A and B are shown apart, each in its own frame.
Chain A
Amino acid sequence: MIVKDEEEMLPRCLESVRGVVDEIIVVDTGSSDRSVAIAQEYGASVVEFAWCDDFAAARNAGLEQASGDWILFLDADEALEATAREQIRSWTEVSGCDGLFLNIHNYTGSGQQGATVNPVLRLFRSHPEHRFKGRIHEQIAAAICERNPEAAFHITDMVIHHYGYQTVVVERKDKVNRNVRLLQQAVEEEPDQPFHHYNLGVEYLRVGEAEKALESFVKARKMIDPAVTSYAHLLLKYEVRCLEHLERWQEALECVDAALELFPEYTDLMHHRAICADAVGDTDAAEMWLRKAVQQGPPPAIFHTEEGMGTYQTWHTLGRLLEGKADLEGAVDAYVETVRAKSSLVPPLYRLFRIMRVSGQEGQIPAVMESRFAMSSEEALSKVLGILEQCHCYDAALELLGELPSASSGEQREKRSIAEAVLHVQRGDWSSARLKLETVKRKKGSFAPMAARWLERLQWLSGKEGQEMKFQDAFTRWLMNGSEVGEGRESASEEESGSTGWGKLAVEMGNRSNLENAATLEGVADADHAELYDGWQALGLMLEGCVQSGRWQALHGLIQRGRQLLDEVHDATEKKLAKERSQGEQVERDIIDAEKLIREPFTGASDTLSGTSWLVKGLIRAADHHLAQLTSDTEQVEPGKRQRLSYWPVIQHIRLELPGADGFEG
């Protein structure tokens, strides 16, 4: 393998082959970090090589030193999969052929969006004539076939994970720019090589330069014979993707149709054909193509495919399409299939629950979960619980909560009670919430302080105006203070964070956004639960409760209070910035005022983004509540005959599409 400054990735890579290969050779092209040292720790032989813009040359330098019968080549940002470790020996011993294809799973973006899968030649018999060719995307197959025109290759199902194109890494390594540069060079040197144009197009597409990518792909396509070019299907698919990106739908349609003629079993093309049909408004054709794609399933192994084509991705796209056509039943089925195909996916569950809630079928959620999903583990149940809560299906969540296996410890019991109480708060059933919270408070366990805080908040919500109360909870005190400027009193002592300064804000915000998205106790370290259900989130939960119970005056009051605080924080920030800008020109009094305001009335108050998010959520929920009431069926005089507003379809559509939790955060 070739490395340059790969100290981060190298350990994982070398660890994955430890004990599997007999010898590791690392060609170092000038690392200034610990790469060489790490390689030596794993017992690798390190070959120093002066980089000359030629990947093939560098690899060949390594090959020269190899003493094994078979060569496996990897990049530092790759790792051999666990099962492949066991299989390599058997494959190489049994196989009579000259080379073996492995499947690279490429993880892009943030890692959430699945992987693309490419079969590539990564294992080959060692021989002096087997040397790489090509500055970039260096190839070995050519040399093997030259030496033995009858050379045979096997396609295996062994997997190599490739992490190098994950967003953060790419930015750091500036890989793409380097690739573009090298490929442009290659294109200049060998303009008649379609493979260079193709690769250049791929790099352009990777950075979103669709126009340039398209140019390259078209050039490449004109030079190749699709019947014999191994990457022809990919080339055509990428061309379609460019046209889609540029929204040149007619051309995309023509392109994908032509491609489908050549490769009728290539599922990815069917999926894209559907996308194009939908874009031009032909939703029926879109549905047909998606169904065709799932029937086909993943394409035959010779095709490089994107993970999920013909399975979960296609099902999910079908679900969205059917939602748009108001075929909610069909959409539900499609989402169920999506989860079946990949159980770790959450977005389809969000859509599923929302559909059922909007169409008045929330009551059936538990039954659907039972009959169509296998949810045995507590972990799975907890995850679903969290999702139900975020989708505002409180009744279903409560039912599911009841089905959890009994708590293993007192602490866990209290944790669950708090979760249940919070569900009741959001339902607007504050008396039930109070009952649960009081129990937890009495236990005086680690959750007692949180319970106490919430009891105060509920007290404030249900209390009369002007009632003289002494509240411990900073948040409740802030609510009490009404229109007074936040005095920045010390938060209650049990909170670890206390009042924060501007400096700590970034760290706090980072933690908080994780907590918000969880919105439940899932995956939160116990030490952190002081910040859970607090701050702006507390406001959000109370807003939801007011909406659900129809207490619109309280709702308006809370919203106003929240907006007020946002303005105050904004003003304080402005003042501080102004102060920083005009050093020393600020009047003493102003500085003091600004600093007073900087002290947050409650933890996280100065995070206006969070505040806005929670307020917006509450407002959207209020709108949804009214829209729901508009579409609720009312019984007419004749029993069984219901009168509906004629425009309920547009309302249902809006309710399905309002912004809300969708599982894609974080």
Chain B
Amino acid sequence: MASSLSLHPCERFGQSLVELERYEEAHLLLSEETQRYPAYADLHLIYGEVLERQGLQERAYRAYARACNCGSSPNDHGRSGGGEAVVKAFYVTEAGSCSYRAYTSMARLAQQRGFGQEAVRLYELALEHLSTYRPAWMGLADALQQQGVSDESIADRLLHLAHRLHQIHVTTDHADQMNRPHPSLGKETKILLMHMLYALANCGAYKQALLLLGGEASHIHIPVGDQLHWMLCAGQVTDAWNLAQSSWGEADREDHKRTSFSSVITSGAEDAADMSLQSDERSDWALACWASGRRLPSSFFAKVSPLERGMWKVADRLLFEYKPAALSASSSTAPVPAVLDGQLLQWSEPVQMIARQLVARAIQSGHLVIAQQLHERLVRIMSDPERTETEIRRNYAGLLHQHGYTMIAAEMLIQCMTEGELDAEGLFCLGETLYSKGHLDQALSLLEQALEQKPDFSEARAGAAICYLQMALGLIRQERIRSSEVRVLADQQLALEKQLRIAEGIPWRTVYHAKERRNHHAGTSASETADSGRADLSVHDRQG
């Protein structure tokens, strides 16, 4: 007879195996344990996670479904290895294992496999069980975007849902509610709205999030850093700049400015108040400045460590002081002032990383012009002088690809190919994009080339395998049109289609969420502006 305590170990053990990435052992353990304790939701849930990691998506889905079927009431029976009934075993289960967590996992899988409507339904189901479950909100917005729903409609739908969920939880009678709304309900609505705002922002509907923040959700507190980022992403650069200034800028820091600046230089110590900005917030502030055509203010420099200050100064200067003669051409050097050389060569690893993060942030917030200029100038300075123009460009294209700008990246990569060689990463990115457009032959060639350079490039290898299978499928389909009677081909086609579906469990493609998906078709406007060589940084100030 087992007591509830003895059920914990296998779940905990299973979890630690997962953390150690010992999936095979976890799989073996859990496949047995789930048989033994079929009503224990947590086990099914972890089992599902393991199966997902192992690429066995369909089985994972079934495991999650079994978790859902467990129900939340304590169970009376399990089955021990010897078959005796385990009496009165109460399962201490983590909240949501049999409901919202499982539904959300199922929804995620459904979304991955292209069952958009099913995903939406499951996310909503999860929220019905726990309206404040953030991952479900995030997932729902993402799934809606994937289905092509407009941002306005997404916002409407989420708002509608929030209201509906709120209604479900109305427990007090009307009379009571008239006079004073139940405090916990009010709190819950706030949380719902907050999740909604973040869900909208997370799926790239920044404008909608900001609109709501200015309207119905104005009483919700969103940290300055997040708001700033949303404005930046929505192209509301002037608003962004104003917000940054009023929150962190000179107006609030008159006294500090003079004293702290010098003290920071001499002592090198970090002053808590001045260093309260996170690196992302710093980047956003800088981008807000630059995007609205302004240089970095001194209050900005006051808030960065001496280590970084050099880099920020250089970046600021690079963006404003150069008239780049030949940005896109493969000319030898851009005119870097000699006086900076000494300073610049001392850039340490951490600083280089910040610079790279800055470029990524710029891309992520949609300011491609700035991003490209920063990349080319900063990276050129930072990296090995032997690195060619093509390599730098290739590197940048890889970043673009990562953030969903697949078409722009592809154009750049093709350009690089004509100028010189592409490295394995570049070949892969281009191959992946071509694959997604259905150009199997070219994709395959690129992927094989990538493998030649880097034989352990597992993503490229998986992609190549799948390309071959798709090509085989294509040939069969063609032949079936020619000779429609053949049963053998029909069977082969079914088998291949099935295996290709299963192969979607192999993680070789770059994972894109809603934010990045929006950029797939981002076309020529950004690259044109970049190519024209204009250092017109206010070009992205779309709305004041």
Contacts and interface: CB of A to CB of B under 8 A. Distances in A.
A, B assembled together? yes
Interface of A: 281, 284, 552-553, 556, 559-560, 563, 566, 570, 608-609, 612-613, 615-616, 619-620, 622-624, 626-627, 629-630, 634, 644-651, 653-654, 657-659, 665
A608 B482 contact: yes
Contacts of A658: 469, 495-496, 499
Contact of A615 (B461, B475, B482): B475
A284 B505 contact: no
B162 to A, nearest CB: 37
B455 to A, nearest CB: 8
A interface majority secondary structure:
helix
Contact of A609 (B444, B479, B491): B479
A566 B481 CA distance: 13
A570 B482 contact: yes
Contacts of B462: 626-627, 630
B296 interface: no
B495 A657 contact: yes
Contact of A653 (B448, B471, B495, B502): B502
A654 B502 contact: yes
12 contacts: A556-B444, A616-B475, A616-B476, A619-B468, A627-B465, A646-B23, A647-B53, A647-B505, A648-B54, A650-B56, A658-B499, A659-B496
B305 interface: no
A608 B475 CA distance: 11
Contacts of A556: 441, 444-445, 448
B interface majority secondary structure:
helix
A612 B53 contact: no
B53 A659 contact: no
Nearest to A620: B472
Contacts, number: 114
B55 interface: yes
A536 to B, nearest CB: 12
Contact of A623 (B54, B466, B476, B491): B466
Contacts of B81: none
Given A619-B468, A630-B465, A651-B506, A281 B62 contact: yes
Contacts of A645: 458
A623 B472 contact: yes
B507 interface: yes
B464 interface: yes
Contacts of A654: 499, 502-503
A630 B475 CA distance: 25
Contacts of A627: 462, 465
B125 interface: no
In the A-B complex, list the 3 residue pairs whose CB atoms are closest, starting with the nearest: A650-B55, A647-B55, A623-B468
Contact of B502 (A566, A620, A650): A650
Nearest to B485: A609
Nearest to B491: A659
A649 B55 contact: yes
Contacts of A612: 475-476, 478-479, 489
A645 B479 CA distance: 36
A620 B502 CA distance: 15
A612 B57 CA distance: 31
A359 B61 CA distance: 26
A608 B479 contact: yes
A284 B502 contact: no
A650 B506 contact: yes
A620 B54 contact: no
Given A630-B462, A658-B495, A651 B472 contact: no
A609 B486 contact: yes
B35 interface: yes
A570 B441 CA distance: 21
A661 to B, nearest CB: 12
B492 A646 contact: no
Contacts of B491: 659
Contacts of A646: 21, 23, 53-55
